[in-house]
Structure 1
């Protein structure tokens, strides 16, 4: 048999040809022997042909048997397929199904039944693959008490007349159960800090101070133990906490009740006890998760404290923030920052300073204060500003017309002339790079100083090498005024700079009525001593007759919702809407019973300005953040593009109602 197989190799033809030639040669010398060799050649040809024929017949039989076996195997495999499986047409009607499918649907008669109707009227289009797809998947579908991953495969894609699809149901219930168990044990790390711990304790009577400290720790420890967590005290005012992810969800549902519990502690302390919490769900590893928690705590502190900031995977959620930041009595921080900034300026070749886009008097005033500091240190300085606006026109042109300041402003295009490796950029009155006068400048310049008083949001200028961020400060102008006094001993300001800084403080405090502390008056006194004239400053706030009419119409058209909210708008586009909207919002707070006001006005550039003001307990910062803006607990704003005034008003009303429902169940 093995010999026969060898004759079937392709080189046999070569051997036969050689034998044929050999028989001819031998016949030439001896015909008898040549004839004998030729007969052998004929026999070999005949034998090889028969061998090939029999071999091919054997192969055909083997292939036929294999085909029969494969048909049986395919049929048996389909019948015994370990997952529910059916074949449907393009309309979703079942043409065939296995027993697992029958068991899954608890139905013995599935043929010609519509699969979509059997699956709670599921749209069959969601199951059938599109023209450019071969497989369609549905990750989680519930049938009875089990979860399935559904996959549909086009099994007749080459047959345009008869569309058929194989639908597989893979049971993923155990996988989901395992995921749920994993989620239940995933750790959540919390960084906890008592706000202004020393000030709170010092505000209590001597006899009550140990009790106050113990009561604070007892409340925090009891709250963590209720969550089945562990708590480690790192210092007198800082704690490290770990508990499982379901407990974080429970804390969220309770709106972090520990914040309210601590605020209610009264042991002769005159300053309320507030807490800041930074929480993070598990990310990559424990070290990275702890870093996230500490970052969340920094954000909570940067927003004024008395709140919890949770970094939950790809989103950041805020809770609390009902209290205003407590003013710090000492200027230690201002002195340290002032000395550090002096060293940075001296080591820099030049300084560029800018505020937020569409700047107000506080931004320009703070910029002028930085200019004064640079002049004291004999460092070249320029203010980046593309153009003036209605809210700063009077101060802007007064600066431009004053000797020594005529060329102080540069446009965006001119900044390239003043940028090198040793350039220092100082950003004032905003902590978001995207809101600065020239956002790309924060990417180009390596050395950045940040000075701001607004509460921190998700976006923050982390790139800054020096940050002076105090949410208790009334304004950026107040903060810069304090820095001026520590950059150089016996510092003095020219009258124009003093007036610019005082106008910024006056604007953000609403004539020293809001967010005003002892240090605010001290800063104002320093500026007054340097020649700032309140009568000159008042001129910066004067509006024209047209603006007066706009304010009158907005106040007249104001609507009251939920008995405590005033909302107003103007039906025409105006130039410089931010200042006038803020002024109208302030006026609306004068209505009896109104706790918050919102004014919506569209500017000539197409963006809609929303200014928000509040008194008492409503946090307008949280409301404005939901609309893409920010600010303080009682003063906030946002700009919205690509929406009409009516659409924005509706959006504001919906956001306010959601806030009131969440906070006060109104």
Structure 2
């Protein structure tokens, strides 16, 4: 074939030369006689060239077409062989994702059971057919191998597509190993350790210490973690992610095991655990762990908190916080708060929306105590939208000074030298006036509810004590240390005592030593228990409404659930009181009352401590305390009942042994 091609080229060159000679000969025929002879010769040569040209077209053109056809066949065969032996699994699918062709490697590595022709690709593997046409492709797993699948359309109409699979198993396994070997920091503290150990014998102390050491050892058993005891009540643990994940999945069983360790006759051990996860390095993970531990302690202890991706996840927290009678801390807080008050010209005090006796009572007592320290001090409260009209009227009738102003009046009085004190809540969404909170530059928070993640920020001081019975108890404790600079009237003392009695259910729930000390202090100030009892009186209509709610109750998994679709003026008071009454039913560990106000579904929750209603309400977007919580839902009554049932199911599923 090569010799034919060479001969063909020589002939064509010769033809071109003779054609040129023919033109010259034609020109010479018209010249001199001598030139005519030469011209005749050139014309003869041209005729011979024409014959050669015809010969080339006839003889060699046929060979050229055969060569081109053979070359095309060779190229097509090479393409098919190359695709068939492509060094990565490859298939061709039609517009319905059905496999119409696949290469040998696909048949050996990916699908070797039988012929794959006619099988839908999505039936073979979990693959995103939209993602495979993108530049990133889709990661799929089949036969214990990971592949990055990518696809391209092979024809103009897009009916056929080729999908090839790049084996990235080594990369995925390396990435997984890197992730699993990432170090996390865990800080474990023993709640209220000094108080627990102060009232037991030395032999019992040694036994408790040994039990704690064994508990930590069992916690780290079968792991590669390293622990270090940095204090008598604190442990640092450095653990790989591969061992932490199962612990989180089991919801920190160490919390339950710790409660089984008895300290003395009536106390049990509880732990607070802060976990720093996904930090860029150990230092950042330790920082996350400290923040998580702080959240645990702020929520009452006996729980674990995991911080990852800037968010907190909580586990446990089903028992009440231990009673801490830390007078040293209260004295220090009171001193710092006195300095803040004296450095401001005005003080505004407000609680939460629909303020109850604890919210309004704590604000009233605080306002009365600081009246002679600042130029102005007022309680911001909505005179209509609150649950303490009886208390407000009682104070207005018996006090010569004016205590209460509306939120609008509070906004008008607010300036750069005003101190805002928020009591009985640290949730920015629940304060009496969001506008005042947003504009205030100096904010102090006094609250007894368990710390929430997105609390009021920034603050110049926070006094959060989840072990306290009420905000009124905290305010009373501060007033005791305000000294001679402050004094409260009899009626302000009664307002504080009313708040304590409300949140403790007449000194039954969440009552510690400090609670009775606060009540004794208020009694010394002249508080009359009979006058306080009158503040709880209801109208006959409210009493009937409460009875109707109680009659609608049914039992669901040791919980009493009541609801009403009716709306009346004192529905909030009736609902909260009905929730309290339902706890008196035998076998009931928690009560929930569902009602509607202004198109919003409200749920009021109560417990005797055996069920942490705060966790139940938090799962529905609300919050509160272990024995008292609430939430609001934007849905129908039926949907609210279903969501509450699901939240109760989830709680008992996660705390089935409690």
TM over 0.5: yes
In structure 2, relative to structure 1, the CA distance for the partners of 1:440 and 1:233 (3 Å cut) is: farther
* Equivalent position to 2:419, from 424, 432, 442: 424
Q: Does residue 1:506 correspond to 2:501, yes or no?
A: yes
Cα distance in 1, alignment partners of residues 311 and 137 from structure 2:
26
Q: 1:206 to 1:98 in 2, by over 3 A?
A: closer
**Structure 1 263/108 Cα, relative in aligned 2: closer, same or farther at 3 Å?**
closer
Deviation of residue 109 (structure 1)?
5.3
Root-mean-square deviation (CA, aligned residues, Å) is 3.0
CA deviation vs aligned residue, 1:152-190 (integer Å, no higher than 9, x gap): 34455xx5x553433232333222212221232111211
CA shift at 1:362, angstroms?
A: 0.7
Cα distance in 2 between the residues matched to 1:552 and 1:436: 30
Q: Is the 8 A contact 1:481 1:523 kept in 2?
A: yes
1:74, 1:189 → 2: CA distance? 57
Q: SS at 1:489's partner residue?
A: helix
1: CA distance between counterparts of 2:113 and 2:268?
A: 66
Distance 2:640 2:282 in 1: 43
Q: Give the C-alpha shift of residue 588 in structure 1.
A: 0.9
Q: Radius of gyration: which is bigger?
A: 2
> Which residue of structure 1 lines up, in the alignment, with residue 595 of structure 2?
601
Structure 2 match to 1:99: 104
Q: Kindly report which structure 2 residues correspond to 1:624-643, keeping only aligned pairs within 5 A, or say none.
A: 624-640=617-633, 642-643=634-635
- Residue pair 1:499, 1:532 contacting (<8 A) in 2 also: yes
Worse-matched range after superposition: 369-378 or 508-517: 369-378
How far did residue 508 of structure 1 move?
0.6
1:163 aligns with 2:159: yes
Aligned-partner Cα distance in 1 for 2:649–2:491: 45
Give the corresponding residue for 2:644.
Answer: 652
8 Å Cα contact 2:147-2:165 kept in structure 1:
yes
Where do 5+ consecutive residues of structure 2 fail to align? Answer: 1-67
| Rounded Cα–Cα distance in structure 1 between residues aligned with 2:343 and 2:213 | 46
**Residue aligning to 2:65:** none
**Residue 572 of structure 2 corresponds to which residue in structure 1?**
578
**For residues 148 and 314 of structure 1, do their structure 2 counterparts lie closer, same or farther at Cα, with a shift above 3 Å needed?**
farther
Identify the residue that residue 615 of structure 2 maps to in structure 1: 622
Seen in structure 2, the aligned counterparts of structure 1 residues 155 and 549 have a Cα distance that, compared at 3 Å, is: farther
SS in 2 for 1:435: coil
**Which position in structure 2 is the counterpart of 1:261?**
257
Residue 95 (structure 2) aligned to one of 90, 110, 120:
90
The count of aligned residue pairs is: 588
Distance (Å, rounded) in 2 between the aligned partners of 1:70 and 1:441: 80
Q: Which residue of 2 aligns with 1:469?
A: 464
Q: Report the equivalent of 2:238.
A: 242
Is 1:375 matched up with 2:399? no
- For the 8 Å contact 1:305–1:325, the answer to whether it is kept is yes
For the structure 1 residues 253 and 402, does the alpha-carbon distance in structure 2 shift closer, same or farther, using more than 3 Å as the test? Answer: same
8 A contact 1:275–1:305 mirrored in 2: yes
**Using the alignment, how far apart are the partners of 2:219 and 2:373 within structure 1?**
52
Give the TM-score taking structure 1 as reference length.
0.81
Asked whether the 8 Å contact 1:574–1:602 carries over to 2, the reply is: no
2:317 equivalent in structure 1: 321
Q: Supply the distance in 1 between the matched residues of 2:258 and 2:142 (Cα, whole angstroms).
A: 47
Return the alpha-carbon distance in structure 2 between the equivalents of residues 565 and 416 of structure 1: 43
Residue 488 and residue 77 in structure 1: after superposition, are their counterparts in 2 closer, same or farther (change >3 A)?
farther
Deviation at 1:390, TM superposition (A): 5.1
Structure 1 segment 171-320 matched on structure 2, within 5 A: 171-266=167-262, 268=264, 270-313=266-309, 315-320=311-316
> CA–CA distance in 1 between the matches of 2:439 and 2:449?
24
Find out whether 1:546 has 2:545 as its counterpart. Answer: no
**Partner Cα separation in structure 2 for residue 231 and residue 128 of structure 1:** 48
Query: Distance in 1 between the 2:613 and 2:187 partners?
Result: 26
**TM, length-normalised to structure 2:** 0.82
Does the aligned pair in 2 maintain the 1:128–1:136 contact within 8 Å? no
- Evaluate the alpha carbon distance shift between residue 400 and residue 217 of structure 1 in structure 2; reply closer, same or farther with a 3 A threshold: same
Contact 2:414/2:436 (8 A) holds in 1: no
Name the SS for the 1:531 alignment partner: coil
